[in-house]
């Protein structure tokens, strides 16, 4: 049996076809012993190994053996049952990973956009529970500034005068601040600030237009608007709160095989995605 390339398993009535080498990833596991005819509980019936276990959960175990990566659906909830299945098959490293649900479960991500108008300028502040999302937004948003003559809030962008990109304000890893519109400088000169949000190529000066584009970009990125409110103080601030499920960081196993040692003994755990 150990030389057979293709192995067929019937697990709880669900049929799986795989390579013998896949089942032998961890030599001390029961699946490896099954392929080597060293586990009598698994019966060979009509050329297929019959396994009286949960077939749906075994699909995740097969995915792990094929990729050495634990990645579960966002709506997955049977962590304890899958952990018991991993223990049954002697995949104790996988069982150990599954016991750390906090690393595998998706997390709720919250983001809030604050917007206020003051004369001919609009102020934006974006707060996010995930710093990587704020970093990605900061890379999408560019503010351009330049002096324009006799231009107001709704004046069109003048392509004859070059605009200078400005860095966004980053008070912390979890928020970003910028503004657009015009302000008086000297004489009839205006300091104008335009905002561009990728992948849209327009340079917008009207704060309401920028707000609409920003909210639309967040909705396209998988966020869901859950509330709006207005805070009235010295300045009237509109607050838009969004949420989305952020997929958990996947976990990978790196197996270093050395002569006379098992894959389990040489395995180490590592995160393959970073999230804050």
Over the chain (276 residues), what is each successive 10-residue block's mean pLDDT? Answer: 75 94 92 87 86 94 90 81 94 87 76 92 94 93 80 49 86 94 72 92 93 96 94 87 75 48 38 37
CA–CA gap between residue 212 and residue 225 (Å, rounded): 13
Which structural domains are found in the chain, ordered by start?
6-103 (3.30.710.10), 108-149+160-246 (3.30.1410.10)
150 class by beta-carbon count within 10 Å (0-12 exposed, 13-18 middle, 19+ buried): exposed
Looking at residue 261, its pLDDT comes to 39
Given this model, what pLDDT does residue 8 score?
94
Q: Is 158 helix (H, G, I), strand (E, B) or coil?
A: coil
pLDDT score at 226: 96
Let me know how long the chain is. Answer: 276
Burial class (CB within 10 angstroms; exposed 0-12, middle 13-18, buried 19+) of 184: exposed
pLDDT of residue 140: 94
Determine the Cα–Cα distance for residues 48 and 263; give it in Å rounded to an integer. 26
* Collapsed DSSP state (helix, strand, coil) of residue 66: helix
């Amino acid at each position: 049996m150990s030389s057979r390339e293709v192995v067929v398993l019937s697990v709880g009535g669900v049929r799986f076809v795989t390579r013998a080498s896949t089942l032998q990833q961890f030599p001390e596991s029961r699946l490896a012993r099954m392929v080597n005819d060293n586990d009598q509980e698994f019966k060979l019936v009509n050329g297929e190994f019959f396994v009286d276990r949960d077939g749906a959960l075994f699909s995740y175990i097969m995915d792990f053996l094929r990729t050495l990566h634990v990645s579960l659906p966002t709506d997955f909830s049977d962590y304890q049952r899958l952990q018991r299945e991993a223990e049954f098959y002697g995949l104790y490293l996988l069982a150990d990973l599954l016991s750390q649900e906090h690393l595998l479960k998706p997390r709720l991500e919250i983001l809030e956009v604050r917007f206020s108008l003051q004369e001919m300028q609009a102020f934006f502040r974006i707060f996010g529970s995930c710093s990587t999302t704020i970093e990605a937004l900061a890379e999408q948003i560019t503010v351009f500034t330049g002096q324009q003559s006799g231009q107001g809030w709704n004046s069109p962008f003048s392509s004859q005068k070059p605009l200078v990109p400005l860095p966004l304000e980053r008070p912390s890893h979890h928020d970003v601040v910028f503004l657009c519109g015009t302000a008086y400088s000297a004489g009839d000169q205006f300091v104008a600030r335009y905002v561009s949000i990728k992948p849209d190529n327009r340079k917008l000066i009207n704060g309401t237009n920028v707000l609409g584009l920003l909210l639309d970009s967040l909705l396209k990125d998988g966020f869901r608007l859950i509330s709006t409110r207005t805070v009235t103080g010295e300045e009237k601030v509109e607050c838009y709160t969004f949420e989305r499920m952020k997929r958990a960081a996947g976990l990978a196993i790196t197996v270093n095989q050395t002569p006379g040692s098992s894959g389990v003994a040489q395995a180490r755990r590592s995160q393959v995605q970073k999230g804050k």
